[in-house]
């Protein structure tokens, strides 16, 4: 199979979908890897390194897309890439379709088989989301701490406090991978951390992990409202896999926050948890102020630490990518429930229930779509 690796084009997206080491694995499995010129440079991988691993370097994106049987990316295709979609092409990348209706429309219309990293499910875990959630969770606390500094628009709070002055308050909504990693860094910085989740078993686990370093609360509207009003830094990390994020933090709640408080809505890639977040921000222009509160809503946070992120992401994606490359797709979708759960659009059918529900498509289970699709 021909595997295409285009250069990422999202703002400050410096990750690459495959490393030279991954290229070598594909080549050893008998595949041809087409890497767009400088696709790895942002992550510190040169064309020479890819060539040494056996890749063919292609000067432009169009040719990569046209020659590939499977395109591997990091972020969702942008509108300038929709023109490259064609029937039968396999696309393996983050998609976040519930928050990307135009992309969903283009995929359905084109007959691309789109497998989303973020919904690949292995025994209730999301192994292709986890590494980037670890990165983004850790970054969220780090970035929030910086934004609380006065020159960045914050209220001028040092999260650790100092002897004689109280610590800053951090509230984290959603205690999964992002939430837990944010808590790890925030407690490390010495903040006073409260974490809310809907799942009481998950809160028990977090209580076991962090002990008295954090307070836990069940995620009910009254608890959210009280915690938001009192916090210096709010980190949002809720996920219902595949679905649009629930808007748990209302505009009225944001109005109760003190001026110079900070919101980092990590769940922005699924549409965001905070009502006052009305657009996705970029690494170039990451924040805006509304009701006196600094809002941060960058949807590709790990793109800013691409060396760490590319290595962590490809550690997780390569075993699945090799299966996609080695096995005929229809056969693989039948045999492999993890890949099947990643299937969001197959041959013009939306095959992930939460995506279909949120975007108003008929939901066709992948098993059924398979019989309707000529792959």
Binding site per annotation, positions: 15, 75, 133, 197, 202, 219, 238-239, 266-269, 298-301
Show the 3-state SS of the chain: CEEEECCCCCCCCCCCCCCHHHHHHHHHCCCEEEEECCCCHHHCCCHHHHHHCCCEEECCHHHHHHHCCEEECCCCCCHHHHCCCCCCCEEEECCCHHHCHHHHHHHHHHCCEEEEHHHCCECCECCCCHHHHHHHHHHHHHHHHHHCCHHHCCCCCCCCCECCECCCEEEEECCCHHHHHHHHHHHHCCCEEEEEECCHHHHHHHHHHHHHHEEEEECCHHHHHHHHHHCCEEEECCCCCCCCCCCCECHHHHHCCCCCCEEEEHHHHHCCCECCCCCCECCCCCEEEECCEEEECECCHHHHCHHHHHHHHHHHHHHHHHHHHHCCHHHHHHHCHHHHHHEEEECCEECCHHHHHHHCCCECCHHHHHHHCCC
Q: Which residue is nearest to ligand CC(=O)C(=O)O (CB)?
A: 132
Q: Is 269 a residue that touches ligand CC(=O)C(=O)O (CB under 6 A)?
A: yes
Which of 67, 160, 199, 205 lies at the binding interface for ligand NAI (CB under 6 A)? 199
Q: Pick the piece of the chain touching ligand CC(=O)C(=O)O (CB under 6 A) from 41-49, 297-305, 328-336, 342-350.
A: 297-305
Q: Is 94 a residue that touches ligand CC(=O)C(=O)O (CB under 6 A)?
A: yes
- Residue number, 2 or 282, with CB nearest to ligand NAI: 282
Judged by beta carbon distances under 5 to 8 A according to partner kind, the member of ligand CC(=O)C(=O)O, ligand NAI, none in contact with residue 103 is none
Instruction: Give me the residue label for tokens 């040092």.
Output: 158
Contact track, ligand NAI, 279-298, x by CB under 6 A = -------------------x
Q: Is 197 a residue that touches ligand NAI (CB under 6 A)?
A: yes
Q: Is 175 a residue that touches ligand NAI (CB under 6 A)?
A: yes
Q: Pick the piece of the chain touching ligand NAI (CB under 6 A) from 82-90, 128-136, 208-216, 308-316.
A: 128-136
Q: Is 174 a residue that touches ligand CC(=O)C(=O)O (CB under 6 A)?
A: no
User: Is 269 part of the annotated catalytic residue set?
Assistant: yes
Q: Is 106 a residue that touches ligand NAI (CB under 6 A)?
A: no
User: Is 31 part of the annotated catalytic residue set?
Assistant: no
List 31, 96, 113, 295, catalytic entry: 96
Footprint of ligand NAI (CB under 6 A): 118, 129, 132-133, 136, 173-179, 196-199, 202, 219, 237-240, 246, 248, 266-270, 298-302
Binding residues for ligand CC(=O)C(=O)O, rule: CB under 6 A, are 75, 94, 129, 132, 269, 299-300, 302
Catalytic residues: 96, 269
């Amino acid at each position: 199979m021909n595997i295409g690796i285009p250069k990422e084009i999202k703002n400050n997206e410096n990750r690459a979908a495959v490393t030279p080491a991954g290229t070598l694995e594909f080549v050893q499995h008998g595949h041809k890897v087409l890497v767009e010129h400088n696709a790895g440079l942002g992550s510190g991988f040169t064309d020479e390194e890819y060539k040494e691993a056996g890749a063919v370097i292609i000067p432009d994106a169009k040719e990569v897309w046209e020659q590939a049987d499977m395109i591997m990316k990091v972020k969702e295709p942008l509108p300038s890439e929709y023109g490259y979609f064609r029937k039968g092409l396999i696309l393996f990348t983050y998609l976040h379709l519930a928050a990307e209706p135009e992309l969903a429309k283009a995929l359905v219309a084109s007959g691309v088989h789109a497998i989303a990293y973020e919904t690949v499910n292995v025994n209730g875990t999301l192994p292709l989301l986890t590494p980037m959630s670890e990165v983004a969770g850790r970054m969220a606390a780090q970035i929030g701490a910086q934004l609380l500094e006065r020159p960045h628009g914050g209220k001028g709070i040092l999260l650790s406090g100092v002897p004689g002055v109280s610590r800053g308050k951090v509230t984290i909504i959603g205690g999964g991978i992002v939430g837990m990693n944010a808590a790890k860094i925030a407690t490390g910085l010495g903040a006073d951390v409260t974490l809310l989740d809907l799942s009481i078993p998950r809160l028990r686990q977090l209580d076991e992990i962090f002990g008295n370093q954090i307070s836990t609360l069940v995620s009910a509207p009254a608890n959210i409202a009280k915690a938001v009003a009192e916090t210096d830094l709010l980190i949002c990390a809720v996920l219902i896999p595949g679905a649009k994020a629930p808007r748990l933090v209302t505009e009225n709640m944001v109005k109760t926050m003190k001026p110079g408080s900070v919101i980092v809505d990590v769940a922005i890639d699924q549409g965001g948890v905070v009502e006052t977040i009305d657009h996705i921000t970029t690494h170039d222009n990451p924040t805006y102020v509304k009701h006196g509160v600094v809002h941060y809503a960058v949807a590709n946070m790990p793109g800013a630490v691409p060396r760490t992120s590319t290595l962590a992401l490809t550690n997780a994606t390569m075993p699945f990518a090799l299966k996609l490359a080695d096995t005929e797709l229809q056969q693989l979708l039948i045999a492999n429930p993890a890949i099947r759960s990643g299937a969001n659009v197959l041959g013009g059918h939306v095959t992930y229930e939460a995506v279909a529900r949120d975007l108003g498509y008929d939901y066709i289970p992948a098993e059924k779509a398979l019989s309707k699709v000529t792959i």
